């Protein structure tokens, strides 16, 4: 059946990591609304609750769930669902087991990173028979491309008639010629071994680290650097030969080669000369393993996959892709490459000064800003790099190791690297607000707290104190806060003291209660400091915010 599907022009997607276990309970997970018949999960949410237990669902940190709308808020199952109201999140911690004493149900509290914050409000209600939304587990990342394995033997005779490059169903080997040439009879060296790839087009993909991906938000799993993509082909004959971008940094023992592709999609393999990269041994037959399929044609829409082929004798009832495919670019033409090549040589790829190290660290997709400082640590120079991660995520040991590996190609010999977190400065801010006529003070206060939150607001905009709104050395201005508050509907006046009111504002650092900066109008933030105001009642040490709203109705 696979051969029939390929000959019919089927597009192949393959999982990017081995799948060792799937659980029936994760096919459809019920969202818990805590007895709210018309509840909703707001836009910007990073927490939800599911009906179930850890033993039944087998959910853990690193798993991906897809929230899917069944019918819109306020509707019924007969109303069509919005296909864009599907969103993937990756759990950033193990679920917490809870219980709803009112309904007598076991409940799991799940949490994901700000980078995966819900971009729309999700229906938690029910029409009495069907839930308004569900969560889907058993999510596996897959990419476009079909792996072919050649051992220099003809394939099925019936496939010989179809010269299908996409399927690779041809009665010949994947490489031509099959073996490296021998030296000639006069003892002169053999001509360069430049085998031609007879199937294609070759897939180019960024190497995937499944373990690292489980530590990162789901949104970042789909963000790739096209410049890091390599041809998906390897040769083996006792040792494995891998594709590389060039051989300039390859030693004489490196089993590496370069794939040179023409405008027509044809490709040849260029090997080393035993100085820059090893030369294949004459007379050795190599087994080729490669992938074919590339370009924008792989951008399938949602629910486009229809069949699955397993490596073992297992059985899966159904398969679907709830989200559309993204990425996939057409190969550059040789003309475009020639135009871009001169600029590539002007890109600095080594770090010498502290500014260089900070700049390269900021190329990491998870780093908002970095500052570096070189210090003499007794026997050598050490570069200390303070990093402000996006979304306010912690600079933990796993991220430190990841960033050091990212910076290793640019590191100057003799420099050690140390990654440090920023010095957070929690704020303690309170303002007195006069509500306009016709507005309830409670509604104005709720709108102000939403505008100055540290998360994603229902309209998908960032709150004023979102972790990405401030970084190293950025002062906090009282005038900016007042201007933002005045833009909230229902606010008539904002200040530190309202005549006739006993309430008074404050503008200070949380751990420096003796100094109020309201008169100066600015809280100065040091070079390695980052302002923070989460306004989390469970963690007041991360900043506190208060609005004293008076007037109105």
Task: List, as one string, the DSSP characters of 141-199.
Answer: -EEE-EEEEE-S----GGGTT--BTTTTB-SS-SEESSSPPPP-TT-PPPPP--PEE-S
Supply the pTM of this predicted model.
0.70
Q: What is the dihedral of CA 425, 431, 436, 438, to 10 degrees?
A: 80
Residue 377 has pLDDT above 80, yes or no: yes
Lowest mean pLDDT across 454-463, 483-492, 507-516:
454-463
Lowest mean pLDDT across 61-65, 286-290, 402-406, 463-467:
286-290
CA dist., res. 140 & res. 125, Å (int): 28
CATH placement of domain 354-420: 3.30.300.30
Structure tokens at 56: 């039944």
Structure tokens at 81: 């669902």
Please give the pLDDT value at position 181: 60
Residue 36 has pLDDT above 80, yes or no: no
Mapping DSSP onto H, E and C, the string for 355-403 reads HHHHHHHCCCCCEEEEEEEEEECCCCEEEEEEEEEHHHCCCCHHHHHHH
φ, ψ of residue 141 in degrees (nearest 5): -80, 130
- Looking at residue 115, the DSSP 8-state letter turns out to be G
The residue-averaged pLDDT of 310-324 equals 79
- Give residue-wise pLDDT tens across range 511-528: 998 899 999 999 999 999
CA dist., res. 26 & res. 139, Å (int): 9
CA dist., res. 270 & res. 428, Å (int): 63
Residue 42 has pLDDT above 90, yes or no: no
Residue 186 has pLDDT above 60, yes or no: no
Return the higher-pLDDT residue of 150 and 418. Answer: 418
Return the higher-pLDDT residue of 488 and 238. Answer: 488
Q: What percent of the chain has pLDDT over 90?
A: 43
Band (pLDDT 50/70/90 cuts) for residue 328 is: confident
Phi/psi class of residue 41: alpha, beta or left (left: φ > 0; alpha: ψ in -120 to 50)? Answer: beta
The residue-averaged pLDDT of 294-316 equals 79
- Give residue-wise pLDDT tens across range 61-111: 999 999 999 998 888 888 888 899 999 999 999 999 999 998 889 999 999
Please give the pLDDT value at position 175: 57
CA dist., res. 168 & res. 172, Å (int): 9
Indicate the domain borders of the chain: 20-139, 143-298, 354-420, 423-551
């Amino acid at each position: 059946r696979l051969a029939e599907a390929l000959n019919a022009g089927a597009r192949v997607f393959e999982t990017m990591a081995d799948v060792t276990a799937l659980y029936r309970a994760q096919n459809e997970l019920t969202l818990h609304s805590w007895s709210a018949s018309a509840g909703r999960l707001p836009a910007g949410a990073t927490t939800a609750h599911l009906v179930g237990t850890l033993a039944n669902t087998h959910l853990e940190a690193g798993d991906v769930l897809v929230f899917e709308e069944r019918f819109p808020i306020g509707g019924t199952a007969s109303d069509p669902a919005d296909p864009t109201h599907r969103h993937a999140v990756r759990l950033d911690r193990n679920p917490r087991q809870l219980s709803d004493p009112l309904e007598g149900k076991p409940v799991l509290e799940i949490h994901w990173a700000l980078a995966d914050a819900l971009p729309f409000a999700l229906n938690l209600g029910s029409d009495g028979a069907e839930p308004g939304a569900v969560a889907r587990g058993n999510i596996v990342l897959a990419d476009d491309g079909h792996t072919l394995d050649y051992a220099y033997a003809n394939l099925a005779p019936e496939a010989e008639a179809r010269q299908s490059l996409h399927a690779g169903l041809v009665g010949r080997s994947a490489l031509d010629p099959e073996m490296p040439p021998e030296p000639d009879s006069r003892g002169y060296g053999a001509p360069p071994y430049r085998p031609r790839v007879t199937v294609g087009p070759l897939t180019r993909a960024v190497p995937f680290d499944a373990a690292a991906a489980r530590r990162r938000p789901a949104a970042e799993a789909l963000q790739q650097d096209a410049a890091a993509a390599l041809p998906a082909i390897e040769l083996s004959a006792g040792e494995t030969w891998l594709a590389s971008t060039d051989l300039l940094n390859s030693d004489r023992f490196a089993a590496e080669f370069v794939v040179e592709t023409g405008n027509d999609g044809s490709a040849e393999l260029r090997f080393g000369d035993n100085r820059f990269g090893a030369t294949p041994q004459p007379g050795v037959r190599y087994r080729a393993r490669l992938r074919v399929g590339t370009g924008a044609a792989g951008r399938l829409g949602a629910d486009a996959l229809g069949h699955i082929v397993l490596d073992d004798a297992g059985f899966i009832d159904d398969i679907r892709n709830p989200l559309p495919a993204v990425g996939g670019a057409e190969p550059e033409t040789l003309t475009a490459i020639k135009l871009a090549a001169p600029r590539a040589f002007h890109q600095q790829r080594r770090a010498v000064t502290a500014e260089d190290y900070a700049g390269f660290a900021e190329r990491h997709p998870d780093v908002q800003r970095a500052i570096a400082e070189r210090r003499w640590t007794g026997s050598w120079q050490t570069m200390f790099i303070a990093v402000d991660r996006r979304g306010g995520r912690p600079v933990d040991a796993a991220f430190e190791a990841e960033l050091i590996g990212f910076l290793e190609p640019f590191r100057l010999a003799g420099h050690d690297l140390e990654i440090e977190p920023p010095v957070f400065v929690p704020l303690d801010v309170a303002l007195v607000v006069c509500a306009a006529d016709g507005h309830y003070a409670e509604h104005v206060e709720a709108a102000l707290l939403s505008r100055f939150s540290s998360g994603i607001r229902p309209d998908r905009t960032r709150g004023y104190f979102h972790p990405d709104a401030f970084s190293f050395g950025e002062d906090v201005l009282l005038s900016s806060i007042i201007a933002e508050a005045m833009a909230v509907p229902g606010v008539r006046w904002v200040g530190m003291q309202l005549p006739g009111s006993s309430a008074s504002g404050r503008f200070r650092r949380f751990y420096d209660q003796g100094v109020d900066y309201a008169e100066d109008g600015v809280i100065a933030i040091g070079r390695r400091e980052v302002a923070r105001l989460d306004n989390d009642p469970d963690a007041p040490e991360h900043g506190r915010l208060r609005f004293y709203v008076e007037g109105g109705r």
